[in-house]
Amino acid sequence: MIRGLSPYPDTGNFGLYPSVPSPVSPSPTPLSHPAIFETVYLTGAHHARKERIMTKQEKTALNMAKFIKEQSLLLLDKLNELDMDTPADMCERLHEDAETLWQVMRDKLGEE
């Protein structure tokens, strides 16, 4: 073997450290890497719109807030049917808060 030439030509380090992998590796596609949170979409010649990609945990949290909002409205209907005025008033405030929470989360996380 000629000194300085690697017996492992695919490592890219020319025999200096054949057990160390090459520092050059193919970059992942933008949507396959979990650290990528923004994608730029061109909407015109000089305009760009940034759209945030939600993580699975964020999507789950948003779905939970939406579920609470919907269930509080169903509970409010049931309480009104039962003529339970005080609990219905409390539930109405709960529903308004749940709706506000869901809207704030939706706006913050970027889902339309």
Summarised one tens digit per residue, pLDDT across range 12-37 is 555 554 555 555 545 444 444 444 44
Q: What is the dihedral of CA 53, 57, 63, 67, to 10 degrees?
A: -160
- CA–CA distance from 40 to each of 34, 35, 66 (Å)? 16, 15, 27
Sign of the C-alpha dihedral, residues 106, 107, 109, 111? positive
pLDDT digits (tens, 9 = 90+) for 80-98: 999 999 999 999 999 999 9
DSSP letter, residue 15: T
Written out in words, the top-level CATH class of the domain with range 28-109 is mainly alpha
38, 28 contact by CB (below 8 A): no
**Domain spans in the chain, listed from the N-terminal domain onward:** 28-109
